[in-house]
């Protein structure tokens, strides 16, 4: 059961705009879908909580069967450990300056695991642990798609990083990868191939480490598109994914969700028009939607977001085409002369689906969580590192 922080507060028509609205029924359906898939594939699921940064959402994921969580900041680790989550992976390569913060968590009983991808960081982790009589558990990040960071699975650096950790007194707890390149794909065949590449290359790195004498018990893979597309997860021990709980327009473009699965939207009010241009002006600009233009150049470009009616139904071919700090411009796709004033009179409430749920959620201090019965609850989210 979800345990909201506050009692029911108001209805959508009473919320000051712009506001982040979270459709709880959609969110729970998305969470169940992912968990059932991971259960069917026989792997532990460790959701990434950076999208929501909110305890009621994380609680729903744990209630569905998740085991542990993934975080992108140590503040997330602190907040969710305080809420009762013990098994936490900090999935950003460790900076030496943050080691005291990590040590404090472990000394309190948090089973915090760290990440590294280079020998400098590995030496720093091992040295700090040795100085403070702490054996840090560290995963080595593997680059399986050339998307961002990590060690190539066949590189000599992989073994050098492992040696730096264990020679200094830390423990090689496993390998971890994130197939971020999957966000650029849009066919089931390409997504399945990427999921298999992610699995195969991360397993390859683990095998090399074990052959060199390191235990490497954890093989952690994951992104929302690959998690939902994988056909086999042989030799993988856990999967991570984050945006799946909310979904967004980028995920819709990959084909792993429909618009009707997107749980997060921004409630906004129509505040004016530029009739000769076919523009509707709303009070949600990039400070509400974020500057993320993740659908630009993709199969469907949604501008700054897809326009929906107050009940969450998409309004066909209306998108937010431009955004200033506190103003958004809504227009009909390709029809500059469309009668915007008649379609959306001043005072109309609209909901805008985001390109990137993580970036849009980050603009707000709380979610207005909307139940299937229309009740609203305030679910706080937090900021910072």
For residue 75 the two structure tokens come to 């503040």
**32, containing H or E segment:** helix 24-41
Q: What pLDDT score does 5 carry?
A: 39
Instruction: Answer yes or no: are the C-beta atoms of 144 and 150 closer than 8 Å.
Output: yes
Closest to 370 in 3D by CA, of 35, 27, 60, 54: 27
In this prediction, residues 48-64 reach a mean pLDDT of 98
Instruction: Answer yes or no: are the C-beta atoms of 280 and 270 closer than 8 Å.
Output: yes
**Would the pLDDT of 337 be above 80?**
no
Q: What is the pLDDT of residues 348-357, one digit of tens each?
A: 999 999 999 9
Q: What is the pLDDT of residues 285-316, one digit of tens each?
A: 999 999 999 999 999 999 999 999 999 999 99
Closest to 182 in 3D by CA, of 225, 222, 149, 143: 225
Higher pLDDT, 81 or 336: 81
Predicted confidence band of residue 340 (pLDDT cuts 50, 70, 90) = confident
For residue 142, list its beta bridge partners. Answer: 151
Residues of the chain with pLDDT > 70: what percent?
97
Domains in the chain (CATH in brackets) are 25-245 (3.20.20.10), 259-380 (2.40.37.20)
Its sign, for the CA torsion 85, 88, 90, 91, is negative
Q: What pLDDT score does 9 carry?
A: 52
Backbone angles phi, psi at 369, to 5 degrees: -80, 120
What are the CA-CA distances from residue 76 to residues 63, 80, 95 (Å)? 19, 6, 16
**Would the pLDDT of 382 be above 50?**
yes
Closest to 326 in 3D by CA, of 288, 274, 365: 288
CA pair distance 165, 213, nearest whole angstrom: 13
Decide: residue 168, CB within 10 A, 0-12 exposed, 13-18 middle, 19+ buried: middle
Q: What is the mean pLDDT of the chain?
A: 95
Predicted confidence band of residue 137 (pLDDT cuts 50, 70, 90) = very high
Higher pLDDT, 273 or 2: 273
């Amino acid at each position: 059961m979800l345990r909201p922080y506050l009692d029911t507060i108001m209805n959508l028509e009473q919320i000051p705009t712009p506001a982040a609205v979270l459709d709880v029924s959609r969110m729970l359906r998305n969470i169940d879908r992912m968990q059932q898939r991971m259960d069917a594939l026989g792997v532990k699921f460790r959701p990434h909580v950076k999208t929501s940064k909110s305890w009621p959402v994380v609680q729903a994921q744990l209630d569905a069967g998740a085991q542990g969580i993934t975080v992108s900041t140590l503040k997330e680790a602190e907040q969710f450990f305080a809420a009762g989550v013990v098994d936490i992976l900090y999935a950003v390569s460790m900076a030496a300056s943050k080691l005291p913060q990590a040590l404090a968590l472990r000394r309190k009983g948090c089973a915090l695991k760290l990440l590294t991808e280079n020998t400098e960081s590995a030496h720093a982790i091992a040295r700090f642990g040795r100085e403070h009589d702490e054996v840090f558990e560290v995963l080595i990040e593997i680059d399986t798609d050339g998307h961002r960071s990590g060690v190539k699975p066949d590189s000599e650096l992989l073994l050098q990083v492992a040696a730096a950790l264990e020679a200094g007194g830390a423990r090689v707890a496993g390998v971890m990868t994130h197939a971020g390149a999957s966000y650029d794909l849009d066919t089931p065949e390409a997504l399945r191939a990427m999921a298999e590449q992610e699995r195969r290359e991360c397993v390859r790195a683990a095998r090399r480490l074990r052959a060199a004498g390191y235990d490497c018990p954890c093989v952690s893979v994951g992104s929302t598109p690959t998690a939902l597309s994988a056909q086999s997860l042989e030799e993988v021990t856990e999967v991570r994914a984050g945006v799946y709980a909310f979904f967004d327009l980028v995920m819709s473009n990959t084909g792993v969700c429909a618009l009707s699965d997107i749980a997060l939207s921004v409630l906004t009010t129509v505040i004016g028009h530029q009739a000769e241009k076919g523009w509707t002006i709303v009070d949600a600009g990039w400070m509400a939607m974020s500057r993320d233009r993740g659908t630009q150049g993709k199969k469907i470009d949604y501008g700054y977001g897809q326009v929906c009616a107050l009940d969450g139904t998409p309004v066909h071919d209306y998108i937010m085409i431009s955004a200033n700090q506190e103003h958004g411009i809504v227009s009909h796709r390709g029809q500059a002369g469309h009668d915007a004033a008649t379609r959306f009179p001043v005072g109309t409430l609209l909901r805008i689906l985001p390109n990137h749920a993580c970036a849009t959620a980050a603009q707000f201090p709380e979610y207005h969580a909307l139940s299937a019965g229309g009740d609203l609850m305030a679910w706080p989210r937090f900021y910072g590192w």
